[in-house]
């Protein structure tokens, strides 16, 4: 039940953010929405399974302790270790499920979801052409929009670069412009107003006012940019690491992603080990207390993952080892607390 609740909550955020807008604007069919939600489920299960296991453990053993059932079990001659053994086995099985989801299923589904949204959102200018971002998918042009509101754009910068190169050969700046989308021909028509066109001749910039400037941009049917590291499976990440290493490039960002996928697969075990003694010591029947404790532990756990990913460009700090820290801490603390609880301390 807790996995279902967390899955619903995490899905709701993504649905409200992207899918619902497409459905309301009639840019997506109901079948596409169902398909998108189905592709999101494996991705949110990465987080929902460990969170659900932790919350269920805290709620169960909090009630178990509050109703003095632990005392009754001990009086019957059953040790705490024997009592929790099925739960520990379940956590190991869920860790194996998480490993399959984290390493293979979730990255593929996440990438397929992004491609689905891109294809269905062709008419949404705010998705196709985001503001305050250098857009390089319309070679040889690099675009920058300060503000995008429907078809109206403001503070536009258009850089034209050499083919197969990065040298800027012309630069156009406009205060405002208008965008229209041609779905049939897969084109975006951009009309720049109050535009200044600047070229470089013999090292000197030569600007002149050109008024209205039309610009046609071809849109590829599939997403032009390469998938991010978070969208790669474990095998693809290993292949990416070999490519970077053979080219003499830094591999730390890939290492962090690889270790994050593996380390987070063991979250269910760590959450279970620490959740059992915390639930017993909390000695509360209230559901709110168990949920509050689980949220605090989840925040602590994810803080290490976020810290490791934020340091992925600093190999001297070994950020790929930081993502393993919460597993070791939670499991060690859980074992120590279980020993104390088992002795009745």
pLDDT tens sequence across 262-282: 998 999 999 999 988 888 887
Task: Please tell me whether residue 197 adopts helix, strand or coil conformation.
Answer: strand
Q: Tell me, what DSSP letter sits at residue 230?
A: G
Give the model's pLDDT for residue 286.
60
Three-class SS state of 220: coil
The structure tokens listed for 227 are 């998938």
Residue 331 located in a structural domain: yes
Rounded to whole angstroms, the Cα distance separating 89 from 64 reads 19
Residues 235 and 329 in one domain: yes
Of 194, 218, 242, the one marking the end of a domain is: 218
* Same domain for 319 and 236: yes
Please say which residue of 218, 241, 257 terminates a domain.
218
Bridge partners for 170 per DSSP: 160, 199
Q: Let me know the angle formed at the C-alpha of 194 by 191 and 196, rounded to the nearest 5 degrees.
A: 100
Instruction: Assess whether 29 and 59 both reside in one domain.
Output: yes
Asked if 276 and 91 count as a contact pair (C-beta separation under 8 A), the reply is no
Backbone angles phi, psi at 147, to 5 degrees: -155, 135
pLDDT at residue 33, rounded to an integer: 78
**Alpha carbons 73 and 117: distance in angstroms, whole number:** 53
Centre a 10 Å sphere on the Cβ of residue 116 and count the other Cβ atoms it contains: 16
- Same domain, residue pair 332 and 243: yes
Name the CA dihedral angle for 281, 282, 284, 290, rounded to a multiple of 10 degrees.
-130
Answer for the pair 121, 22: CB distance below 8 angstroms, yes or no.
yes
233 and 170 in one domain?
Answer: no
CA nearest to 83, candidates 70, 102, 96, 92: 70
What was the pLDDT predicted at 345? 47
Q: Does residue 259 sit within a domain? A: yes
Specify the number of domains making up the chain. 2
pLDDT, one tens digit per residue, over 209-251 is: 777 888 888 766 544 456 778 888 888 889 988 988 887 788 8
Q: What tokens does 211 get?
A: 């008024």
- Whether residues 233 and 171 share a domain: the answer is no
Cβ atoms of 61 and 51 within 8 Å: the answer is no
Q: Is the peptide bond before 140 cis (omega within 30 degrees of 0)?
A: yes
Residues 199 and 321 in one domain: no
Q: How far apart are CA 87 and CA 123, in angstroms?
A: 50
Distances (CA, A) of 122 to 145, 151, 176, 191, 246: 18, 13, 22, 18, 38
Tokens of 224: 């032009």
Say whether both 93 and 139 belong to one domain: no
User: Greatest CA span in the chain, whole angstroms?
Assistant: 93
Write phi, then psi, for 235 (nearest 5 degrees): -65, -40
Tell me the helix, strand and coil percentages in the chain, rounded to 5: 60, 20, 20
With contact defined as beta carbons under 8 Å apart, do 241 and 302 qualify? no
**Full domain range(s) for residue 153:** 128-218
Low-confidence ranges of the chain (pLDDT < 70): 16, 18, 20-28, 118-128, 163-166, 201-203, 219-226, 283-290, 344-345
Same domain for 338 and 294, yes or no, is: yes
Same domain, 7 and 111: yes
Report if residue 223 sits inside a domain: no
Same domain, 116 and 132: no
Domain boundary (218, 239, 270) is at 218
How high is the pLDDT of residue 223?
A: 47
- 113 and 238 share one domain: yes
CA distance 146 to 175: 10
pTM score, two decimals? 0.64
User: Has residue 98 been placed in a domain?
Assistant: yes
């Amino acid at each position: 039940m807790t996995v279902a609740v967390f899955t619903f909550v995490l899905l709701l955020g993504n649905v409200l953010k992207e899918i619902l807008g497409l459905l309301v604007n009639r840019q997506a069919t109901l079948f596409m929405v169902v398909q998108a939600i189905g592709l999101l489920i494996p991705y949110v299960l990465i987080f929902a399974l460990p969170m659900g296991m932790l919350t269920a453990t805290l709620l169960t053993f909090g009630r178990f302790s509050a109703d003095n059932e632990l005392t009754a079990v001990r009086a019957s001659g059953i040790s705490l270790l024997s009592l929790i053994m099925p739960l520990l086995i379940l956590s190991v099985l869920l860790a194996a499920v998480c490993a399959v989801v984290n390493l293979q299923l979730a990255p593929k589904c996440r990438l397929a979801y992004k491609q689905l949204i891109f294809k269905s959102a062709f008419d949404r200018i705010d998705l196709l052409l985001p503001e305050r971002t250098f857009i390089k998918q319309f070679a040889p042009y690099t675009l920058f929009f300060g503000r995008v509101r429907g078809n109206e754009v403001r503070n536009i910068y258009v850089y034209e670069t050499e083919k197969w190169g990065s040298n800027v050969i012309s630069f156009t700046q406009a205060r405002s412009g208008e965008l229209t989308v041609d779905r049939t021909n897969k084109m975006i028509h951009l009309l720049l107003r109050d535009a200044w066109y600047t070229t470089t001749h013999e090292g000197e910039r030569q600007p002149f006012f050109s008024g209205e400037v039309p610009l046609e941009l071809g849109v590829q049917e599939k997403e032009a940019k390469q998938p991010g590291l978070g969208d790669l499976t474990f095998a693809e990440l290993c292949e990416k690491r070999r490519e970077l290493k053979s080219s003499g490039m830094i591999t730390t960002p890939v290492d962090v992603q690889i270790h994050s996928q593996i380390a987070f697969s063991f979250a269910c075990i760590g959450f279970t080990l620490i959740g059992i003694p915390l639930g017993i010591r909390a000695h509360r029947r209230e559901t709110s207390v168990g949920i509050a404790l689980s949220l605090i532990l989840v925040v602590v756990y994810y803080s290490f993952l976020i810290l490791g990913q934020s340091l992925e460009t600093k190999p001297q700090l070994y950020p790929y080892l930081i993502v393993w820290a919460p597993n070791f801490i939670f499991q060690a603390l859980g074992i120590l607390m279980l020993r104390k609880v088992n002795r009745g301390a």
